[in-house]
């Protein structure tokens, strides 16, 4: 029973084309002839730029064309007849090409008839085979035609066409290069036949080339360029109007000049000026043209500027819009709220509304809401009657009668109330958990309140953060929000398949203390805690009986663990003790958690059990095995319980607790003194010159590395001394161990010593000449002079230390600022490249045009969110629980198990089948249990499968982009060896998705064949792949110009270093056209007769003559990795390495994706992409499921070559014009589409957002289809 049934049309597609002059005239309602806008009375001048026929701006004025008021009038175009044709800047490149490939006389394409035929057929053939014609083919045709200098059709000689930026063409005929006037260009373009245009990819039906030269200029309606009246009553015109005024003025002058026969040069000048104005009217940022400016000096914002960029039409108004029904305020925590709830301040609740339909059942309630009105809560703001009239209650003086007049089927826009569903959001919205649905809880005061356990997905804290709230207005929207977006449904992150929500901060401290072995509670306290947790029922039996019974913290905690849960794991505390062997259940530190049947038997509960962002924790198990509702209840209860406990107990970290004893202080002092001594020794030996140089490092660099190693041990040592001093009940230690806040490093820095301050991973080396600060002697390389801070935060820093600390701190700040920008852009590119990827009903992953990206999502079809930390089924747990609950009986035989598993092997992926077999065989199950385990596994697998319609692309893009913000910038890490630097962290990840041709640190890992796996042989191979040129092993290279000879003296020592023998030199040194004479270490090269400059070049080439190795391998290091001798190279040359005897051809690999694609193929490149990206993420300790990385890699390698994630790669290949235009290169994309007559079928996401349709993903994909009876086949 909709109140206002409106018929409306849905955009089916968007076709781009050029407007012909005739179309422009036809569209036009008025020819604009006067440059003026309004007369003195403020009335629009007829045939002026604000002519009434162009639409209306004033609210109550009727449009002279369509008769509508300003609300409904869409505005109407006018036109200007240009006195002389003018070139449209956006087509300038295309025009240049067209002029170059067509005949200046007959206009035909400069290809012979046969060639034309050939290409036509080729285009046809490619089109049937690939469904599209690749841009490269058109480029080839263009290139071919460009070469022809004589027309094959009429025999006219052609001349090169020069484009003189910004908008003129010159033809280089013999007598010079005269400018071709636009009218002449137009004539030439008119002569090009339609068929020839098709060869260039232009659709002549929608884009005749001559239309690119303007004769008529469309004038946009006034609604596009409204004038504004300032407070002072002065009218101010839009930038476009200003520009149009200029155009009309010059156009008039030009036509007058043409009529009155003014000298040609004046006409030319006027024409150029007209061209300038038209050019800047379209684009005011053309290179080579001064931008048109306002009187104030501000550059005008003309058409291109309106569309382009972040605040442009596409990104600023079409892809994202401003909305009503939203609110924003500061957030603060409230543990008493459910994790699904959000506290909304009263002031906001009485401004935000939800439309509610009046029925006979809620009539009375609605009447009361109307009586309450907009001010009194709960009230209402509007009534929408069945005839569509809206009554704003604010303006109704007497609401009683309106309330009485309320009828069913009216709609009341009432205040939001408790239980309404709203969307809650914190920017930056990096992943889908940045917008979640909450239920409203109206509260006093002025902030939004949320349960602090929900902070991690929003990445929120309460230091002044603000958040946004949106109220869905439709029934459908509310339903979807409550079913899919509620916080409890988002507990498990799609990034890694574990909980992202969980206890944080004090809750962890509290649980650590509560569940400690020593904690016992009196009846009163136990009762209070249980009440806080929302427990209703009898007290559990006390752990200590007697007149004063006591309850252990563990048993109080156990009350809230679901019954029947069995669980074991290590706690966060475990990581403190570095036990060589875990004693598991017998752990003396109570760091091993055992839960039996829902009872916490032993172990402390801390971050590893209930913390946020911890996979395979107690909380994870509960959510996974008992569902999100039980999980939510568990978290709610324990959060309140723990809050109450820590309130009762009290917790504070006092300044006194940072104090260390004099004894420890002495120990630290001694350690630092010793280190200082060692540093001084190093410096001394450096000065004397007997310091050992590290391979691949200069002597200075080596010294730095030695000193840094020395000093880093000092801080660690100091920290350790301090740690060992603090008792276990030190509150700082408690926080660190529980995982609530801070680390041992932080405590060490507060109490013992701050340690080395650094810039870019090095000690502080800059500042004054030869020293960092004037307080030090020049060239003092000592610890203090290079930024080592002995003091702790507690003791306070001395002035120089403070300064160094500020330097290090500043770098941190700059780093974060740079990082957010970089990762933000990476995220945007990833999202744009993958937004249209979804899972189809057949399980394939496809793009919006139906091209297959993956045959099965993540190769096993499993949704990470529904997986168990990435695994489809936790078979171990499953088999275990089956065993526990099975009845006793005969154990199933091996044959029975085998046959059973074989029979279902097509229902599960091979890896699961193997795991199932292993686990069942090890578990000793009865036949019945075996059947049960198998069927349960299949059930769980099927349940873990991804659903059709899932926006797999967006989820993956978010899962890779979001952790980008957490990555460190500029981590040059040592790859196993000290000598080698490898780019890691965010820069490397960006490099991978960028698919750079050469990574910043290309490297190979060369594995060796069995016989070669020892240092000696490995070094031989290493030498063989290292690039060695003549210069490297020569003592001197002298070129004798008189004798035309080059004399080279080889250096036997470096030759030995480089592992090259004379024999090898003899074999390799064979420069072309010359004679080589080698006599021991003297080499004489005599080239054939040549001139002196030639000879000089010859010598230069000889110097860098390659003797062996791969050209880009600068260094090769031999090292032992996990008991195997391998080679790591700096620089990479995979083909050379793979052909080297002794190299393992199976495993040797490079980190250069393009190189791998070339040598081993696209599939291998895909594997390298996955491997490299996963390695970067792992190294940063970021948990990202491999399926997301796979999807990105599959997308990058889908076309057979490695494409970058960005405008020159995946995004550039997108089929949708609108999506491409909204991404980066707006104007050229649209121009290109118009010339080709492209039709955007609106199948992706960005396009549909732009035209305002539902997005074809997830629930938006569902449509009603009907199968029609098939046509009878004859």
Partner 1 sequence: MSKDIKKRDVTFEHELMPKHSIITKKDLEILLKKYHIQPYQLPSILISDPAVQAIEAKPGDVIKVIRKSSTAGEILAYRYVIED
Binding mask 793-832 for partner 1 (x = CB under 8 A): ----------------------------------------
Interface pick for partner 1 out of 462, 855, 885, 974 (rule CB under 8 A): 855
For the question of residue 625 being annotated catalytic, the response is no
CA–CA dist 1140, 896 (Å, integer): 51
Closest to partner 1 by CB, 247 vs 1134, is 1134
Interface stretch with partner 1, choices 271-279, 334-342, 644-652, 1193-1201 (CB under 8 A): 1193-1201
For the question of residue 461 being annotated catalytic, the response is yes
Strand 758-759, strand 592-596: pairing: unpaired
Report residue 446 as tokens: 């002025």
CA–CA dist 358, 660 (Å, integer): 71
CA–CA dist 278, 257 (Å, integer): 19
- Shortest gap between Cβ of 877 and partner 1 (angstroms)? 19
- Shortest gap between Cβ of 852 and partner 1 (angstroms)? 6
Helix ranges (DSSP H) in 395-505: 399-404, 455-458, 475-480
Interface stretch with partner 1, choices 238-246, 326-334, 605-613, 1187-1195 (CB under 8 A): 1187-1195
Does 851 bind partner 1 (CB under 8 A)? Our answer is: yes
Q: Map the footprint of partner 1 across residues 1154-1173, applying CB under 8 A.
A: 1156-1164, 1167-1168, 1171
Does 1201 bind partner 1 (CB under 8 A)? Our answer is: yes
What is residue 128's DSSP assignment? H
Closest to partner 1 by CB, 403 vs 1149, is 1149
Give residue for tokens 């979640």: 436
Closest to partner 1 by CB, 710 vs 1185, is 1185
Of 39, 461, 729, 939, the catalytic one is 461
- Shortest gap between Cβ of 957 and partner 1 (angstroms)? 19
Q: How many Cα atoms are found within 13 Å in the side-chain-facing hemisphere of 1058? A: 25
CB-based contact 264:254 (threshold 8 Å): no
Interface pick for partner 1 out of 528, 1199, 1213, 1258 (rule CB under 8 A): 1199
**Cβ density class 773-789: b for 16+ within 10 Å, e for less:** eeebeeeebebbbbbbb
Does 1200 bind partner 1 (CB under 8 A)? Our answer is: yes
Closest to 342 in 3D by CA, of 416, 441, 433, 420: 441
Does 997 bind partner 1 (CB under 8 A)? Our answer is: no
Closest to partner 1 by CB, 411 vs 1190, is 1190
Rg from Cα positions in the chain: 38
Interface stretch with partner 1, choices 437-445, 577-585, 855-863, 1075-1083 (CB under 8 A): 855-863
CA–CA dist 591, 582 (Å, integer): 10
Does 859 bind partner 1 (CB under 8 A)? Our answer is: yes
Closest to partner 1 by CB, 465 vs 914, is 914
For the question of residue 463 being annotated catalytic, the response is yes
3-state secondary structure of 577: coil
- Shortest gap between Cβ of 1027 and partner 1 (angstroms)? 23
Does 1249 bind partner 1 (CB under 8 A)? Our answer is: no
Interface stretch with partner 1, choices 1087-1095, 1197-1205, 1234-1242, 1243-1251 (CB under 8 A): 1197-1205
Cross-strand partners of 437: 423, 486
For the question of residue 1194 being annotated catalytic, the response is no
Of 41, 324, 463, 656, the catalytic one is 463
Closest to partner 1 by CB, 453 vs 1156, is 1156
Closest to 1129 in 3D by CA, of 1054, 1045, 1023: 1023
Closest to partner 1 by CB, 286 vs 945, is 945
- Shortest gap between Cβ of 897 and partner 1 (angstroms)? 19
CB atoms within 10 A of CB 733: 19
Of 144, 805, 973, 1154, the catalytic one is 973
Residues 6+ apart with CB under 8 A from 588: none
Does 516 bind partner 1 (CB under 8 A)? Our answer is: no
Q: Is the dihedral of CA 1149, 1155, 1159, 1163 positive or negative?
A: positive
Does 1193 bind partner 1 (CB under 8 A)? Our answer is: no
3-state secondary structure of 972: strand
CB-based contacts of 1134-1140 (< 8 A; 24+ apart in sequence): 1134/1004, 1134/1159, 1134/1160, 1135/1110, 1135/1159, 1136/1025, 1136/1109, 1136/1110, 1136/1111, 1137/1004, 1137/1006, 1137/1025, 1137/1110, 1137/1113, 1140/1021, 1140/1024, 1140/1025
Q: Map the footprint of partner 1 across residues 639-668, applying CB under 8 A.
A: none
Closest to partner 1 by CB, 587 vs 1195, is 1195
Binding mask 1122-1161 for partner 1 (x = CB under 8 A): -----------------------xxx-x------xxxxxx
φ, ψ for residue 775, nearest 5 deg: -85, -5
- Shortest gap between Cβ of 1167 and partner 1 (angstroms)? 4
Does 906 bind partner 1 (CB under 8 A)? Our answer is: no
Interface stretch with partner 1, choices 321-329, 839-847, 944-952, 1256-1264 (CB under 8 A): 839-847
CA–CA dist 562, 539 (Å, integer): 16
Interface pick for partner 1 out of 842, 898, 1031, 1178 (rule CB under 8 A): 842
Residues 6+ apart with CB under 8 A from 479: none
- Vertex 793, ends 788 and 797: CA angle to 5°? 55
Cross-strand partners of 423: 437, 470
Residues 6+ apart with CB under 8 A from 188: 99, 102, 104, 107, 180
Closest to partner 1 by CB, 665 vs 917, is 917
# binding residues, partner 1 (CB under 8 A): 51
Of 465, 880, 1051, 1144, the catalytic one is 465
Applying CB under 8 A, the residues found at the interface with partner 1 are 129-131, 842, 844, 846, 849-856, 858-860, 862, 870, 872, 909-914, 1145-1147, 1149, 1156-1164, 1167-1168, 1171, 1186-1187, 1190, 1194, 1197-1201
Which residues have a catalytic role annotated?
Answer: 461, 463, 465, 973
């Amino acid at each position: 029973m909709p109140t206002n049934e409106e018929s409306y049309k849905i955009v089916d597609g968007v076709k781009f084309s050029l407007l012909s002059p005739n179309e422009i005239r036809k569209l036009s309602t008025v020819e604009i002839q006067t440059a003026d806008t309004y007369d003195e009375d403020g009335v629009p001048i007829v045939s002026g730029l604000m002519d009434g026929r162009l639409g209306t701006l004033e609210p109550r004025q009727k449009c002279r064309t369509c008769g509508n008021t300003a609300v409904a009038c869409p505005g109407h175009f006018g036109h200007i007849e240009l006195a002389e044709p003018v070139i449209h800047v956006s087509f300038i490149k295309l025009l240049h090409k067209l002029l170059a490939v067509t005949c200046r006389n007959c206009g035909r394409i400069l290809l012979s008839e046969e060639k034309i035929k050939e290409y036509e057929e080729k285009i046809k053939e490619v089109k049937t085979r690939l469904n599209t014609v690749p841009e490269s083919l058109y480029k080839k045709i263009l290139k071919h035609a460009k070469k022809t200098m004589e027309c094959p059709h009429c025999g006219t000689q052609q001349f090169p066409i020069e484009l003189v930026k910004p908008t003129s063409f010159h033809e280089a005929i013999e007598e010079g290069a005269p400018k071709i006037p636009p009218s002449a260009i137009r004539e030439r373009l008119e002569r090009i036949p339609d068929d020839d245009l098709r060869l260039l990819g232009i659709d002549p039906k929608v884009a005749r080339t001559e239309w690119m030269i303007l004769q008529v200029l469309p004038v946009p309606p006034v609604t596009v360029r409204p004038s504004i009246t300032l407070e002072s009553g002065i009218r101010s015109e839009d930038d476009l109007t200003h520009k149009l005024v200029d155009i009309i003025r010059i156009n008039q002058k030009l036509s007058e000049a043409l009529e009155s026969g003014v000298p040609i040069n004046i006409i030319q000048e006027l024409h150029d000026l007209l061209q300038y104005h038209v050019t800047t009217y379209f684009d005011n940022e053309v290179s080579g043209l001064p931008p048109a400016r306002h009187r104030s000096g501000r550059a005008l914002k003309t058409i291109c500027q309106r569309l382009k960029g972040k605040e442009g039409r596409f990104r600023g108004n079409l892809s994202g819009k401003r909305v009503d029904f939203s609110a924003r305020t500061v957030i603060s925590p409230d543990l008493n709220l459910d994790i699904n709830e959000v506290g909304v301040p009263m002031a906001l609740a009485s401004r935000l509304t939800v439309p509610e339909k009046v029925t006979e059942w809620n009539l009375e309630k609605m009447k009361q809401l109307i009586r309450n009105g907009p001010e009194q809560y709960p009230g209402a703001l509007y009534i929408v009657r069945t005839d569509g009239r809206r009554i704003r209650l604010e303006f109704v003086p007497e609401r009683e009668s309106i309330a009485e007049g309320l009828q069913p089927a009216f709609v009341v826009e009432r205040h939001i109330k408790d239980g309404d569903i709203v969307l809650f959001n914190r920017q930056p919205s990096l992943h889908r958990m940045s917008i979640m649905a909450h239920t409203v809880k109206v509260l006093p005061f002025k902030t939004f309140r949320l349960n602090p356990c929900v902070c991690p997905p929003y990445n929120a804290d309460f230091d002044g953060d603000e958040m946004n709230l949106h109220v869905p207005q439709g029934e459908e929207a509310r339903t979807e929000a409550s079913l899919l977006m509620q916080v409890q449904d988002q507990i498990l992150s799609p990034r890694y398949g574990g909980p992202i929500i969980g206890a944080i901060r004090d809750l962890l401290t509290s649980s650590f203390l509560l569940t400690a072995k020593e904690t016992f509670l009196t009846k009163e306290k136990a009762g209070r805690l249980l009440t806080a947790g929302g427990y209703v029922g009898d007290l559990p039996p006390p752990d200590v009986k007697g007149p004063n019974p006591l309850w252990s913290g563990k048993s109080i905690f156990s009350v809230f663990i679901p019954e029947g849960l069995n669980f074991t794991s290590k706690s966060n505390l475990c990581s403190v003790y570095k036990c060589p062997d875990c004693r598991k259940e017998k752990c003396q530190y109570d760091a091993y958690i055992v839960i039996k049947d829902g009872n916490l038997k032993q172990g402390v509960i801390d971050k590893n059990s209930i913390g946020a962002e911890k996979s395979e924790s107690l909380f994870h198990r509960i959510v996974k095995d008992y569902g999100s509702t039980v999980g939510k209840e568990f978290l709610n209860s324990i959060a309140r319980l723990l809050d109450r406990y820590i309130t009762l107990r009290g917790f504070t970290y006092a300044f006194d607790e940072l104090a260390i004893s004099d004894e420890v202080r002495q120990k630290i002092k001694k350690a630092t003194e010793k280190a200082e001594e060692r540093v001084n020794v190093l410096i001394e030996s450096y000065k004397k010159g007997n310091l050992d140089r590290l391979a691949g490092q200069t002597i200075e660099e080596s010294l730095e590395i030695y000193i840094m190693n020395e000093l880093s041990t000092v801080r660690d040592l100091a920290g350790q001394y301090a740690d060992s001093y603090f008792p276990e009940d030190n509150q700082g230690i408690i926080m660190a161990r529980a995982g609530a806040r801070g680390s041992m490093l932080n405590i060490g820095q507060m109490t013992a010593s701050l340690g080395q301050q650094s810039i870019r991973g090095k000690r502080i080396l800059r500042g004054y000449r030869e020293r960092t600060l004037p307080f030090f002697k020049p060239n003092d390389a000592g610890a203090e002079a290079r930024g080592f801070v002995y003091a702790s935060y507690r003791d306070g820093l001395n002035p120089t230390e403070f300064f160094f600390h500020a330097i290090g701190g500043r770098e941190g700040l700059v780093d974060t600022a740079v990082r957010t920008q970089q990762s933000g852009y990476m995220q945007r590119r990833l999202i744009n490249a993958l937004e249209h990827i979804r899972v189809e009903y057949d399980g394939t992953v496809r793009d919006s045009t139906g091209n297959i990206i993956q045959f099965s999502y993540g190769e096993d079809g499993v949704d990470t969110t529904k997986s168990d930390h990435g695994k489809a089924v936790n078979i171990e747990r499953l088999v275990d629980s089956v065993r526990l609950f099975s009845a006793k009986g005969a154990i199933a035989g091996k044959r029975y198990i085998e046959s059973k598993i074989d029979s279902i092997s097509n229902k599960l992926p091979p890896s699961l089948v193997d795991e199932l077999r292993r686990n069942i065989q090890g578990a000793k199950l009865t036949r019945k249990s075996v059947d049960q385990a198998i069927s349960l596994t299949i059930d769980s697998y099927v349940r873990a499968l991804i659903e059709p319609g899932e926006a797999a692309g967006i989820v993956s893009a978010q899962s890779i982009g979001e952790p980008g913000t957490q990555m460190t910038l500029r981590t040059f890490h040592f790859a196993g060896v000290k000598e080698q630097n490898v780019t890691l962290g965010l820069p490397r990840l960006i490099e991978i998705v960028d698919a750079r041709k050469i990574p910043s640190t290309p490297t190979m890992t060369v594995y060796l064949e069995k016989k070669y796996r020892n240092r000696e042989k490995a070094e031989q191979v290493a030498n063989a792949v290292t690039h060695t040129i003549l210069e490297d092993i020569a003592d001197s290279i002298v070129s004798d110009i008189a004798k035309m000879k080059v004399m080279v003296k080889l250096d036997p020592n470096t030759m030995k270093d480089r592992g090259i023998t004379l024999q090898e030199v003899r074999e390799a040194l064979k420069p072309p056209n010359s004679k080589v004479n080698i006599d021991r270490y003297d080499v004489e090269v005599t080239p054939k007769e040549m001139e002196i400059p030639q000879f000089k070049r010859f010598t230069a080439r000889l110097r860098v003559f390659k003797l062996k190795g791969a050209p880009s391998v600068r260094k090769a290091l031999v090292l032992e990795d996990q008991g195997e001798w391998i080679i790591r190279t700096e620089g990479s040359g995979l083909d050379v390495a793979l052909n080297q005897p002794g190299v393992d051809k199976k495993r040797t690999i490079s980190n250069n994706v393009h190189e791998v694609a070339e040598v081993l193929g696209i599939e291998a490149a895909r594997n390298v992409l996955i491997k490299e990206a996963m390695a970067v993420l792992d190294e940063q300790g970021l948990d990202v499921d491999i399926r997301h990385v796979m999807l990105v890699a599959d997308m990058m390698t889908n076309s057979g070559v490695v494409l970058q994630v960005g405008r020159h790669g995946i995004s550039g290949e997108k089929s949708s014009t609108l999506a491409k235009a909204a991404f980066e290169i707006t104007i050229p994309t649209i121009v290109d589409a118009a010339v080709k007559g492209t039709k955007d079928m609106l199948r992706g996401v960005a396009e549909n957002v732009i035209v305002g349709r539902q997005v074809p993903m997830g629930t938006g994909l569902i449509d009603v289809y009907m199968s029609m009876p098939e046509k009878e086949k004859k």
